[in-house]
Amino acid sequence: MSTFLDLGKDVAELTADIIDIPSVSGHEKHLADAIEESLKREPHLKVTRFGDTVIARTELGRPERILLAGHLDTVPLPTTADARGTVPSRWRGGTLYGRGATDMKGGVAVQLSLAHSLTLPSKDLTFVFYDHEEVEAAKSGLLRVATKELLPADLAVLLEPTNGLIEAGCNGTLRLRADVTGTAAHSARSWMGENAIHKLAGVLGTLRDYEAQTVDVDGLAYREGLNAVGVGGGIAGNVIPDAASVEINYRFAPDKTIEEAEEHVRRLLPGYDLVRTDAAPGAKPGLRNHAIQSLVAAVGGAPQPKYGWTDVARFVQMGIPAVNFGPGDALLAHTDDEHVLASDVRKCLGALLDWLT
C-alpha cells in the first residue's frame, strides 16, 4: 500500500514527509508509488509512469511549456551514530534534517506543491520525478523516458540545490583509470621484484602539482578540478604487488567536449595506460535564451556557474535549454548533517509560483 502525500500542506512540511519515505538509489519504488497516487488525485494533470519515474503534464494548449524535474533517490544513509541527516527527518527550529533534505527532497516538494496549486498556469507544465540519478548514468530513469515523447519543452528547470539562485550550465565529468604493472616477489626479497604501487608516484605527483583552471564560458567562470579519487593494488602483506591503479576524475568546463577533456589528461600523463571508465558532457549556460532570461528576472540575483555535473547537461543534449534552480546549499549534499531551511524551500516555491502565474 503506497503512502498518500498531502500536496496542499506547507511545502516545508511536505519536504519532511518525502524524506520520511526511504529512497536510496535502487529503492525508490515506495516514494514513486506515493507520488503517483498523489498526482493522480489532481484532475488537471495527466500522469504516466515508467518504472519508478513518474511524469505529470498539463494539457492546456499554452504556447510555451516548462519542464520541472527532480530525482527521487538519495545516496546511502549516514553510518555515524551521531549523524542528523538520517531517515526519518528531524526538525530543529526552522531547519529540517534528513538524508536528501538538500539533495533534493526540498526541490521535489516544490515540484509537488506547484503541481497541486497551478491548475491554470500561464504556461503548460511537465513534472518529471525520476529514479537512479545518484548512480551510474546507464541506470538513469531520465534516460529511460527520453524517448517517450513526453519531455519536449521550451525550458527545463532542474530543482537541484542552488541556494535559491540560478545556476546555469554545468561542468562535465570524466573518469579515467591509470593502470601500471610491475613484477611480483616475496616482500622479504623485494629487490627481486618491481613494486607497481611505487610506480604510481608519477601519476600522483602530477595530480598533486596540477593547477586547476578557471574557464570563462559565456561570462560565467567555471572552476575545474583534476584529482585522484581511488587507488587499488596489492594482494597480501608479504607480496610485492605486480599491478596497481589509480582512478582519476576530471571536472572540466563546458567549453570542452569529452574527447578534448580526455586528450588534456592524456597529455598530462604521457606513457601511462589510461582507460576511460565514465564520462558525461557539460552544458553551456545558454543565458541568451528568452525563457531563461525571464526566469532569471523573476528569481533575481546574478546567475552562477554550476561546478558539479547535473542532468541539465542531459536536457541540453535533448535540445531543451535548462538551468539549475532549487532550495538548499549544495555543499551540504551527501553530508552526515544534511539539512535545509524551511524558509529556503518556501522562498523557492514562491519564486516559481510568481513566474508561472
Same-domain check for residues 24 and 95: yes
Which of 235, 263, 280 lies at the terminal end of a domain, its last residue?
A: 280
* Chain segment 243-273, per-residue pLDDT in tens: 999 999 999 999 999 999 999 999 999 999 9
CATH number at residue 271: 3.30.70.360
List Cβ neighbours of 175 (8 Å cut-off, separation of 6 or more): 229, 247, 248, 249, 250, 276, 277, 278, 279
pLDDT of the residue at 1:
45
Same-domain check for residues 158 and 193: no
Same-domain check for residues 244 and 272: yes
pLDDT of the residue at 82:
73
Same-domain check for residues 81 and 166: yes
Give the structural domain span for 337. Answer: 11-170+283-356
Same-domain check for residues 25 and 151: yes
| Sign of CA pseudo-dihedral 32, 163, 133, 350 | positive
Same-domain check for residues 122 and 133: yes
339 domain-assigned:
yes
pTM: 0.89
Q: Count of domains in the chain?
A: 2
* Chain segment 201-227, per-residue pLDDT in tens: 999 999 999 999 999 999 999 999 999
Contact at 8 Å (CB) between 155 and 320? yes
Contact at 8 Å (CB) between 257 and 190? no
Arithmetic mean of pLDDT, 58-72: 97
Confidence grade of residue 81 (pLDDT, cut at 50, 70, 90)? low
113 domain-assigned:
yes
133 an active-site residue? yes
pLDDT of the residue at 2:
54
Same-domain check for residues 46 and 189: no
2 domain-assigned:
no
- Read off φ and ψ for residue 276, nearest 5 degrees: -70, 130
Same-domain check for residues 153 and 290: yes
Same-domain check for residues 256 and 305: no
Q: What CA–CA distance (Å, rounded) separates 137 from 229?
A: 18
1 domain-assigned:
no
Arithmetic mean of pLDDT, 81-110: 92
Q: Are strands 185-186 and 239-240 parallel, antiparallel or unpaired?
A: antiparallel
41 domain-assigned:
yes
Active-site annotation holder among 133, 154, 242, 344: 133
Which of 280, 303, 337 lies at the terminal end of a domain, its last residue?
A: 280
pLDDT of the residue at 137:
82
Which of 280, 300, 316 lies at the terminal end of a domain, its last residue?
A: 280
* Chain segment 273-313, per-residue pLDDT in tens: 999 999 999 999 999 999 999 999 999 999 999 998 999 99
314 domain-assigned:
yes
Contact at 8 Å (CB) between 101 and 160? no
Distances in Å between the Cα of 302 and the Cα atoms of 183, 291, 293 are: 56, 16, 11
Confidence grade of residue 99 (pLDDT, cut at 50, 70, 90)? very high
End-to-end C-alpha distance for the chain, whole angstroms: 35
Active-site annotation holder among 17, 73, 160, 224: 73
List, in sequence order, every residue forming a beta bridge with 230; answer none if it has no partner: 247
Report angle CA 146, 149, 153 to the nearest 5 degrees: 85
225 domain-assigned:
yes
Contact at 8 Å (CB) between 153 and 290? no
pLDDT of the residue at 308:
87
In terms of C-beta density within 10 A (0-12 exposed, 13-18 middle, 19 or more buried), how is residue 177 classed? middle
* Chain segment 126-153, per-residue pLDDT in tens: 999 999 999 888 899 999 998 888 999 9
Same-domain check for residues 231 and 99: no
Same-domain check for residues 235 and 112: no
CATH number at residue 121: 3.40.630.10
95 domain-assigned:
yes
